[in-house]
Amino acid sequence: MNIKNYKCYKCFYESRISNVKAHVNRKNKCKRSIDCNYTDQECDILNQAQFDKDNYKKIQNGNLVEIINIDTQNQIINNIQNQNNITNNHITINIDKLISFNDDWDIDNLKESQKNNLLVTNLMYTQLLKIILETEFNNNVIIENKESTHGLIFKKVNNHKQYEEISIDEIINESMIKLHKQLSTIYDNFLSTNEKYDSDNSFSDHVLKQKNLTNQKLTDFLNNKKIKNTVIDIVKKIYIDNKEDAILNQKQALSNLKNHTVINLKNGY
């Protein structure tokens, strides 16, 4: 028997059964491979299932979906792919709508109540990002865990779609700049129409102060190392909390990109 018939379905480490068992059961979890588009739960199911004789045969025959769907621990994980749509227990997405990370996120569907809250909160950056990621096709960033130094972004360049690995610093920097731009648009839209609602300009003055605070927060982030490190940890956690949806988007995206490219590989992922 080929001693490399067993593997970790998260990092794609291959070896004899005893080594792989020790690897998948260790306390310090491995890093996700750039080619892995299974969720954490799917990885755990496949990693353990391969050690069962019957399941091992199914896996070797390519029946991974069957294995995953059998052992869901009462949660349906649907891996059936249907052209440009992916469906599981909580997400349906047309992959053509997936926003490229080098473009602005789609905020057209923000509710008035959400916009109003952004006019008054001092946590405008994190609140807007959380709202943005509620829309499935804005989920274009995968960060594995708090120890990750790099993440994956979905990117379109001249109509060529690809996943690219970049540093956490790059991801958070670009995120903050995009959030600042979109917050400024929200403030400007209110200020341009405020005459209908704000006869004495009191609330407009407040919104203007909010805009100035938003500008100052970005300046502090870009120029103060201590503040930047704090912000990186906060924003990073938001992306980690949305990782599963982002991985589902990646899974469908890669299935539709026959000649997909992953570039700029650095320290692994």
Most confident residue range from 7-21, 47-61, 66-80, 241-255: 7-21
Q: Is the pLDDT of residue 91 over 80?
A: no
Q: Please compute the mean of the pLDDT values over residues 244-248 and round it to a whole number.
A: 86
The candidate with the shortest Cα–Cα distance to 253, out of 139, 131, 135, is 139
pLDDT value for 217: 95
pTM over 0.75: no
Residue 244 has pLDDT above 70, yes or no: yes
pLDDT score of 70: 54
pLDDT of residue 50: 86
pLDDT digit string (tens) for 169-228?
Answer: 999 999 999 999 999 999 998 888 775 555 567 788 888 999 999 999 999 999 999 999
pLDDT of 141 strictly over 60: yes
37-68 pLDDT, tens per residue? 788 888 888 888 888 887 887 777 776 766 66
Note the pLDDT of residue 247. Answer: 86
pLDDT confidence of residue 22: 92
239 — pLDDT class (breaks 50, 70, 90): very high
Total residues found in the chain within this entry: 269
CA–CA distance from 192 to each of 178, 188, 198, 201, 245 (Å)? Answer: 21, 6, 11, 12, 36
Categorize the per-residue pLDDT at 167 as very low, low, confident or very high, splitting at 50, 70 and 90.
very high
CA distances from 15 to 3, 267, 269 (A): 6, 22, 20
More confident residue, 85 or 95: 95
Beta bridge partner(s), residue 151: 166
Which pLDDT value is given to residue 36?
83
The candidate with the shortest Cα–Cα distance to 142, out of 221, 224, 57, 31, is: 31
Amino acid at 7: K
pLDDT of residue 109: 87
